[in-house]
Amino acid sequence: MIVSLAVAAAVLFATGTYLLLQRQLSRIILGLALLGHGSVVALLVAGGRTGDPPLVDGEPTGTYSDPLVQAMALTAIVITFAVIVFLLALASRSWELTGDDAVEDDTEDRRVAALTGIEELEETFEPAADEREGLDDDADAAPADAPGSALDPAGGAVAP
């Protein structure tokens, strides 16, 4: 039981990390949710072997499961859930504002790239202002990049 839970936690961490490294906000949020689940499973594993319910007929059985980790796991679930919902609300607001689900280039990165003449940022992340239909296609879809919005700061940093 402990081994299978540990494997489950490992799989959750692996997929969560993979999703977290994506360019779409929705995938990042899903990745965080999976990471949260992974840590909760790890917390349950930390309680040791499973046993009987702790309070049967008001008599301790002597072989009951550790209730402390369950209490902690419950708290962690509630908190992670709340923050994930807040993130979804932010992502929805971001969609309203930019019409896109992708994380924008970092303004600071763009400035530095412009200084050194590196063109890769522009290549990997082309403006697609007039192609709203193509949004779901791939990570290359970019937010509307009107000249006036150059000062708009962006979320995740992307190394050139």
Partner 1 sequence: MTPAPALPIVLALVGAALATLAWQRVRLQRAVSLASLTGALVAAGAMLAATRDGTVLTTEVGGWSADIGIALSVDLTSALLLTVSLATMLAVLVFSIAQRTDDPRVFHPTYLVLTAGVSLAFITGDLFNLFVSFEMLLIASYVLVTLGGRRDQVSHGMTYVVINLLASTLFITTIAFVYAACGTVNLAELGVRFPALDDDLRLALGLLVLTVFGIKAALFPLFSWLPDAYPAAPTPITAIFAGLLTKVGVYALVRSSTSLGLQDLGPILLVAAGLTMVIGVLGAIAQNDVKRILSFHVVSQIGYMVMGLGLFTVAGIAGAILFVIHQIPVKTSLFLVGGLIEAREGTGALDRLGGLARAVPLVAALFVLPALSLAGIPPFSGFVAKLSLIEAGSAAQSYVIVAVSLVGSALTLFSMTKIWAGAFWGAAPEDAPEPAEASDDPTSGRPNHALALAATIGAVGLTVLIAVASGPLYEWSVTAAEQLLAGPSGTVGP
The total number of residues shown for the chain amounts to: 160
How many chain residues bind partner 1 (CB under 8 A)? Answer: 43
Contacts for 29 with CB less than 8 Å, ≥ 6 apart:
84, 87, 88, 91
User: 148 forms bridges with which residues in the sheet?
Assistant: none
Instruction: Find the binder of partner 1 among 30, 45, 121, 135 (CB under 8 A).
Output: 45
- Give the shortest CB-58-to-partner 1 separation in angstroms: 17
Residue 64 φ/ψ region, left for φ over 0, alpha for ψ in the -120 to 50 degree band, beta for the rest: beta
Q: Mask 85-114, x = binds partner 1 (CB under 8 A)? A: -xx--xx-xx--xx----xx-x-x------
CB 34 within 8 Å of CB 19: yes
Per-residue x/- track, 4-23, partner 1 (CB under 8 A) = ----------------x---
Select from 41, 32, 36 the least CA-distant residue to 3.
41
Longest dimension (CA), the chain: 74
Instruction: Tell me whether residue 8 or residue 91 sits nearer to partner 1 (CB atom).
Output: 91
Q: Is 75 in the site for partner 1 (CB under 8 A)?
A: yes
What is the distance between the alpha carbons of residues 1 and 7, in angstroms, rounded to a whole number?
10
Binding segment toward partner 1, per CB under 8 A, in 54-62, 72-80, 124-132, 133-141: 72-80
Contact positions vs partner 1 (CB under 8 A): 20, 25, 28, 32, 35-36, 38-40, 42-43, 45-48, 68-69, 72, 75-76, 79-80, 82-84, 86-87, 90-91, 93-94, 97-98, 103-104, 106, 108, 152-157
